[in-house]
Chain A
Amino acid sequence: EVQILESGGGLAQPGGSLRLSCAASGFNFRNYVMSWVRQAPGTGPEWVSGISGNGESTYYADSVKGRFTISRDNSQNRLYLQMNSLRADDTAVYYCAKLDGGDWNWPLDYWGQGTLVTVSS
């Protein structure tokens, strides 16, 4: 059974940092592209970042480029999102999600329950 569990959310001040973590199990983690998707209150999902199975390719939404860094540890089946220079509009539930295939052009088939990030002074 595929399981995805995020952690690391919480309250951060504007300009501050947080590191999100995602623990995955039930599938061959290293074979799949992984993504972070966020959903602010009352809005639709927003794709934030993605990373290839071997970690060599990464992509970001323009809204987070230069501030967020995605990474993965395939030996631990973990995905990370380092978030720096946080802004109020980064406030959202952040989901870790698995793509349904080994390359980029696949839908998001499994999602964690999400971790809430609140940026406020």
Chain B
Amino acid sequence: DIVMTQSPDSLAVSLGERATINCRSSQNVLNSSNNKNFLAWYQCKPGQPPKLLLYWASTRRFGVPDRFSGSGSGTDFTLTINSLQAEDVAIYYCQQFYSIPFTFGPGTKVEIK
């Protein structure tokens, strides 16, 4: 199974500042046939199901604010939240959908400083 790790476990950022979350997969999740990274990011708030934010590592889902961006390839990925807003307080998870079983990272909790 592909093991996903994330860092940091939590971070506190001032409103309007940038939050950066790292994700690493134990195996490559780049599909060489289409040059796409099978990596997604989800936002999870208490009492709600996870919400898909980005996929293919950097493609923003429709309706997701452009302050959310993703980068990286192969095994190392980053989620960046520019100009953090109060509504961005949540736990963020990366997930690989390259091979079954699809696996999630342990999550990074984002709070307001």
- Chain A residues with CB under 8 Å of chain B are 35, 37, 43-47, 50, 59-62, 95, 97, 99-100, 104-109, 111-114
Interface residues of B (CB under 8 A from A): 1, 31, 38, 40, 42, 44, 48-52, 55, 61, 91, 93, 95, 97-98, 100-107
Known: A37-B50, A107-B40, A108-B42. 5 other contacts (CB 8 A): A35-B102, A46-B104, A105-B31, A108-B95, A111-B49
A42 CB to closest chain B CB (Å) equals: 10
6 A-B pairs in the complex with CB atoms less than 8 angstroms apart:
A43-B106, A47-B104, A62-B1, A95-B50, A107-B40, A108-B95
Contact between B105 and A105, CB atoms less than 8 A apart: no
Contact across chains for B55 and A44 when beta carbons are under 8 A apart: no
What are the residues of chain A within 8 A of B101 when measuring CB–CB?
47, 59-62
Given the interface pairs A44-B93, A44-B107, the reply to whether A111 lies near B100 with Cβ below 8 Å is no
Interface residue from A46, A105, A114 paired with B38 (Cβ < 8 Å): A105
Most buried by B among A43, A47, A62, A95: A47
Q: Which residues of A contact B49 (CB under 8 A)?
A: 95, 97, 111-114
Known contacts A44-B107, A114-B49, A59 near B100 by CB under 8 Å: yes
* B102 proximity list for chain A (CB < 8 A): 35, 47, 50
Residues of B within 8 A of A100 (CB): 52, 55
By the criterion CB–CB under 8 Å, are B104 and A105 in contact? Answer: no
Measured in the bound complex, the distance between the Cα atoms of B1 and A98 in whole Å is: 22
Residue of B nearest to A99 (CB): B97
**Inter-subunit contact A45/B104 (CB<8 Å):** yes
Distance from B109 Cβ to chain A, minimum over Cβ atoms (Å): 11
